Amino acid sequence: MRPKLYLARPFPDPVMAVIQEQFQLTVSPADHPPSAAEILAGVRDAQAAICTLNERMDAGVLSAAPALRVIANYAVGYNNIDVEAAKARGIIVTNTPDVLTNATADLTWALILAVARRVVESDQLVRQHQWTGWSPTQMLGVDLAGKTLGIIGMGRIGQAVARRAAGFEMNVLYWTRSERPLQPANPSWQRVSFEELLRRSDFLSPHIPLAPDTHHLINDAALRLIKPTAFLINAARGPVVDEAALVAALREGRLAGAGLDVYEKEPELQLGLRELPQVVLLPHLGSATAETRIRMGMMCVENVLAVLEGKPAPNRVA
């Protein structure tokens, strides 16, 4: 008898093939975020759940799932899961670290380059038949070489972003709460205080998990310390940045621009954000490459099978 799995969303085909072979699906997933009622119905008889960052797996959901033994989150961040409630019920929680590091770091750089060189504005100019030919003063951006990239949080993704900065001849500053030595430590990366990082960075990019102490870490006070020529990038979690304060800073010219992949209330955006041409807006694509999404799905399946077979979950977070 194959175990019952609640799968919140359809995954790429190679992952679906493995899932169909290994499990009985307790719901037939449709590609839209499930409602609270759909989640409750889905987990009711399930021994395992694979969910995405959109599904809130809170105490109410967990108490509706008496047979549930494991939740595999299809993301590295797991702020959508009430980990304490899971622990209390003996439910193991896993995530997908490492496999999405390069994809997320690459996307962070896509945003850095897009805001620095006004890629999206320029594309629109051409598409809208506004381009009348080469001009010495058209769509001027800023150089990256010699500029300072400030990284908040020096975990796997923060370090992968920092490594890529060498190719663009940028200086790297970072701030991290962790006391762990960096692996590998790069002698040219300089650790500074949070305030110094804000004051000195030309491009500022958080790569930290969302937790109560990182919620609105970049708030109005922080934004007021950033140079008016600097750009804010966010491919981590939306609520790390106070979006209303960000819109105010951009409108008032206290910040040169922003490249955002994540938002406080996805898929909604703070009023005014869409209207700002100096902002590049992506629909939460950090890990969205075919190879990465397949690896993430396979990792979820491995974790679920390990738990159901009584083995240690390779990517257990709680």
Three-state DSSP class for residue 10? coil
- Burial grade of 167 (CB within 10 A; 0-12, 13-18, 19 or more): exposed
Q: Looking at the chain, list the stretches that DSSP marks H as alpha helix, in order from N- to C-terminal side.
A: 13-22, 36-43, 59-63, 83-88, 101-116, 119-127, 156-165, 194-200, 220-223, 243-251, 290-308
Asked about 237 being catalytic, the answer comes back as yes
Planar angle of CA 97, 82, 176, nearest 5 degrees? 50
Scanning the structure block, which residue is given the tokens 């009711």? 44
Provide the pairing of β-strand 203-206 with 148-152. Answer: parallel
Per the residue annotation, which of 163, 266, 302, 316 is the catalytic one? Answer: 266
Q: Stretches 17-25, 32-40, 72-80, 141-149: which one binds ligand DGY (CB under 6 A)? A: 72-80
Asked about 127 being catalytic, the answer comes back as no
Three-state DSSP class for residue 147? coil
Contact track, ligand DGY, 287-306, x by CB under 6 A: x-------------------
Structure-token pair, residue 32: 């839209």
Contact track, ligand DGY, 18-57, x by CB under 6 A: -----------------------------------x----
Q: CB-wise, 230 or 236, nearer to ligand DGY?
A: 236
Contact pick of 77, 155, 239, 259 for ligand DGY (by CB under 6 A): 77
CA-to-CA distance for 93 and 90, rounded, in angstroms? 10
Determine if 76 is a binding residue for ligand DGY (CB under 6 A).
Answer: yes
Contact pick of 5, 72, 75, 172 for ligand DGY (by CB under 6 A): 75
Contact pick of 29, 34, 150, 286 for ligand DGY (by CB under 6 A): 286
How many residues belong to the site for ligand DGY (CB under 6 A)? 7
Window 83-112: residues binding ligand DGY (CB under 6 A): 100
Asked about 275 being catalytic, the answer comes back as no
Per the residue annotation, which of 69, 118, 237, 293 is the catalytic one? Answer: 237
What's the min distance (Å) between Cβ of 286 and ligand DGY? 4
Three-state DSSP class for residue 38? helix
Determine if 161 is a binding residue for ligand DGY (CB under 6 A).
Answer: no
What's the min distance (Å) between Cβ of 287 and ligand DGY? 4
What's the min distance (Å) between Cβ of 156 and ligand DGY? 11
Residues facing 6 on adjacent strands: 49
What's the min distance (Å) between Cβ of 96 and ligand DGY? 6
Determine if 71 is a binding residue for ligand DGY (CB under 6 A).
Answer: no
8 A C-beta contact, residue 303 and residue 315 = yes
Structure-token pair, residue 154: 């020096």
What's the min distance (Å) between Cβ of 56 and ligand DGY? 15
- What distances in angstroms separate CA 163 from CA 48, 157, 284, one per listed residue? 37, 10, 22
What residues are annotated to the active site?
Answer: 237, 266, 284
Judged by the rule CB under 6 A, the positions of this chain that interact with ligand DGY are 53, 75-77, 100, 286-287
